[in-house]
Amino acid sequence: MHKKLFIPGPVEVRKDVLEKMATPMIGHRSADASFLQRRISDNLRKIFYTQSEILLSTSSGSGLMEGAIRCCTAKKAAVFSVGAFGKRWYEMALNNNVKADLFEVPMGEAVTPEMVDKALSTGEYDLVAVTHNETSTGVMNPIKEIGKVVSKYDDIIFIVDAVSSAVGTKIEVDEWGIDILITSTQKAIGLPPGMSICTFSNKAKERAEKVPNRGFYLDLLALYKYIQKKDYQYPSTPSLSHMFALDYQLDYILNKEGIENRYARHIELAKMVRAWAKKHFELFADEKHLSNTVTAIKNTRAIEVGALNKELAARGFAISNGYGTLKDKTFRIAHMADCTIEDMKDLLKNINEILKLED
């Protein structure tokens, strides 16, 4: 039996979107490919409120994260981590010979604009990397406020991992001063895994021009230059299947569901899950910085999350245990992509039945 996914990626994908993945192939050097890729970029620019170029990569989001920190750090990167994915960015820097410092806050807390201000005031850094939505803890960092601090300083590139939030919660890329915003297809956009997307500002481009050794496949400047020259075609063969599905899904989001409705639905889902969690358990994250796409729940009843998931599986659902060291201390319910209010009611009702909790 298929288990409906309430895990923070890959997400449940609508049947009509899955079917678009089976579209017959076109040549990746054809006018059709240019047309498809240009339309995807134009629609993504609308969703991200940006004039920046859009880059697509046939890699998961981690690929573009690695490319971004490597291509745009000339001096030293300041990486702000609130959990597993922030640390990943720091490791990527070290493994690419990119100088970086890690600034961490305890799991469940958010990065403060003051922390960023203090780090930048040293003059040591020329890039700031922050996770927007920390999937391991359910924290959503105040990116807009952090962006304001970053913009006080000259020539700092601001890169944001929005893998588990973009297209599920509003992010105004240009207004918030974001140079590179990164996301993957298998999270809030609601597609299968295998492709990633980023915005790439003019400032990021100018910085990358000064950075030698940007790698090859994930050289964001090379991708940028190529799509300018070749009318949105990519240097190596991209996952056209994802592009067909992405193009279809962006049209659905912009013209059928409506982007504001999509964001409102995510907030409604988040509120539902938070209310349920507070009634029966506790929230793990700081309540001032709760994620709109995934909720981490403190396991105050010491339930066996594995056993719960087994029973849920028999009923056709899957949720997620805690991440890393939080494995049994928390569990997570994702509420992103095309998850409906009815889907969530159904899930919570089934959990209540299994754990013998009141509705």
Whichever of 85 and 234 has its CB closer to ligand PLP, that residue is 85
Whichever of 40 and 163 has its CB closer to ligand PLP, that residue is 163
By CB under 6 A, is residue 129 in contact with ligand PLP?
no
Q: How many chain residues are in contact with ligand PLP, going by CB under 6 A?
A: 13
By CB under 6 A, is residue 164 in contact with ligand PLP?
yes
Distance of closest approach, residue 162 Cβ to ligand PLP, in angstroms: 8
Whichever of 33 and 47 has its CB closer to ligand PLP, that residue is 47
By CB under 6 A, is residue 295 in contact with ligand PLP?
no
- Tell me the per-residue interface mask from 73 to 112 with ligand PLP, x by CB under 6 A, - otherwise: ------------x---------------------------
By CB under 6 A, is residue 61 in contact with ligand PLP?
yes
Whichever of 129 and 354 has its CB closer to ligand PLP, that residue is 129
Instruction: Consult the annotation and say whether 70 binds a ligand.
Output: no
Distance of closest approach, residue 67 Cβ to ligand PLP, in angstroms: 12
Distance of closest approach, residue 176 Cβ to ligand PLP, in angstroms: 17
By CB under 6 A, is residue 60 in contact with ligand PLP?
yes
By CB under 6 A, is residue 158 in contact with ligand PLP?
no
Distance of closest approach, residue 147 Cβ to ligand PLP, in angstroms: 18
Whichever of 96 and 131 has its CB closer to ligand PLP, that residue is 131
Please answer whether residues 64 and 218 qualify as being in contact, where contact means their C-beta atoms are separated by less than 8 angstroms: yes
By CB under 6 A, is residue 184 in contact with ligand PLP?
yes
Distance of closest approach, residue 241 Cβ to ligand PLP, in angstroms: 16
Structure-token match 């349920």, residue found = 276
Distance of closest approach, residue 122 Cβ to ligand PLP, in angstroms: 27
| Residue of 41, 62, 73, 309 interacting with ligand PLP (CB under 6 A) | 62
How far apart are alpha carbons 128 and 80 in whole angstroms? 8
Sequence-distant (≥ 6) Cβ neighbours of residue 324 within 8 angstroms: 84, 136
Distance of closest approach, residue 307 Cβ to ligand PLP, in angstroms: 25
Binding residue positions for substrate: 332
Chain residues that interact with ligand PLP, rule: CB under 6 A = 8-9, 60-62, 85, 131, 133, 135, 161, 163-164, 184
